[in-house]
Amino acid sequence: MNALEGLRVLDFSRVLAGPFATMILGDLGATVTKVERPGQGDDTRAWGPPFDEAGVPTYFLSVNRNKESITLDLSNTDDRARVRAMALEADVVIENFRPGVMEKLGLDYNSLSRDHNELVYCSISGFGNGAGAELPGYDLLVQALGGLMSITGATHGEPQKVGVALVDVLAGLFATVGILTAVMHCRETGKGQRVEIDLLSSLLAALVNQSASFTAAGIVPTRMGNQHPSIAPYELFETSSEDLVLAVGTDKQFISTCDVLGLSALVADEKFTTNTSRVANRIELRKYLEVALSTEPAAHWVDRLSTVGVPAGVVNDIASAFKFAESLGLNPIVKVVREDGTEVHLPKNPIGLSLTPASYRLAPPDLKNRESNQS
């Protein structure tokens, strides 16, 4: 049995944040019905390359397993009545239309909750339903407006986006937490509620220490490349072969690093004895480390440093990252079987549950035509 078995989710969301949330719920046992536009479906069904062997965009595949799909035209009166009836039978409804769209369709929380007071209704927007309601909620835009790009990239280079739509992923995770919290409350009280998530607030919360440096200390963070604003040495270094990441988080690790690199004299230097002093003198410290690390390849240093408990590693590409996870026994790839018997390989759900583990029952659905929906 799965933890969320019996939980019925009606999913109006598209692209990434909402579909990611509903996939997590589906992995944990919920029954998820994805409502899509006839003939088009989710936007990501057209977002390729890359495609898998069956010709399906991998973007769509990445966030839509463990769902059934139904195509309904929400501008059509009959289809709208049908989907309303489905919503009144659901435990959870999730949508990420622009604020106001669901109200016009009569499928908003207030309209549905009058007839279904146990409904948990999650809305995901870019910038909330107030003054920012009309702003388009694209991940890249939020990375820019939310400050993430200002702290990402080389110190004197241009602002950079993160290499994945991270804000959407974060919003999807916050949505999942909010939905499950509301479901638990409903089971205890019999009362549903609205869950509201916006991308901008999700990002500002997820900036954690960088956000707090401003809110609590009035310091505006800037781009530092691969350096850390509060820890040193904690960055990328060149070696005689390949780059090396060195993540020294404690004084003990710094002592061990110096021992391995033949720099034991630095430990007694007051400029480097504490993390605070190392951060203040990071440029000088880096020069010593660069000279020492340049004498051997990265693999040599990873082996030596790891042996004494210092976090160090090379920069993997995605393929190497999965291979590394496999070597650790993490089994990062799962196989899901399509209706035609072919398999699709996807990243596994990382949530480990001893009694009710995630399951992979349904491959990302094909887009059904309206006739098959009605048969």
Residue 162 within a domain: yes
Identify each DSSP E strand in 112-192 by its residue range. Answer: 120-125
Q: Are 11 and 33 in contact (CB under 8 A)?
A: yes
Same domain, 29 and 143: yes
Same domain, 253 and 361: no
Same domain, 261 and 178: no
Same domain, 157 and 175: yes
Same domain, 359 and 293: no
Phi first, then psi, for residue 122 (nearest 5°) are: -105, 125
Same domain, 75 and 175: yes
Q: Are 20 and 169 in contact (CB under 8 A)?
A: yes
Domain count, the chain: 2
Look at strands 194-198 and 234-238 and give their pairing.
unpaired
Same domain, 267 and 320: yes
Phi first, then psi, for residue 181 (nearest 5°) are: -65, -45
Q: Give the per-residue pLDDT at 375.
A: 47
Residue 119 within a domain: yes
Give the CATH number of the domain where residue 142 resides.
3.40.50.10540
Same domain, 154 and 292: no
Q: Is 11 annotated as catalytic?
A: no
Q: Are 41 and 345 in contact (CB under 8 A)?
A: no
- DSSP tag of 237: E
Residue 228 within a domain: no
Same domain, 147 and 122: yes
Q: Is 159 exposed, middle or buried (0-12, 13-18, 19+ CB in 10 A)?
A: middle
Residue 211 within a domain: no
| Residue 68, domain extent | 8-206+331-374
pTM (global) more than 0.85: yes
Residue 241 within a domain: yes
Same domain, 45 and 180: yes
pLDDT in tens, the chain (375 residues): 899 999 999 999 999 999 999 999 999 999 999 999 999 999 999 999 999 999 999 999 999 999 999 999 999 999 999 999 999 999 999 999 999 999 999 999 999 999 999 999 999 999 999 999 989 999 999 999 999 999 999 999 999 999 999 999 999 999 999 999 999 999 999 999 999 999 999 999 999 999 999 999 999 999 999 999 999 999 999 999 999 999 999 999 999 999 999 999 999 999 999 999 999 999 999 999 999 999 999 999 999 999 999 999 999 999 999 999 999 999 999 999 998 899 999 999 999 999 999 999 999 999 976 545 554
Residue 219 within a domain: no
Look at strands 343-347 and 333-337 and give their pairing.
antiparallel
Same domain, 169 and 154: yes
CA distances 286 to 246, 280, 293, Å, are 11, 12, 10
Q: Are 130 and 202 in contact (CB under 8 A)?
A: no
Q: Which residue has the tokens 């820019």?
A: 144
Q: Give the per-residue pLDDT at 32.
A: 98
Q: Give the per-residue pLDDT at 369.
A: 65
Same domain, 24 and 61: yes
Choosing from 11, 79, 168, 198, the catalytic residue is 168
Residue 274 within a domain: yes
Give the CATH number of the domain where residue 306 resides.
3.30.1540.10
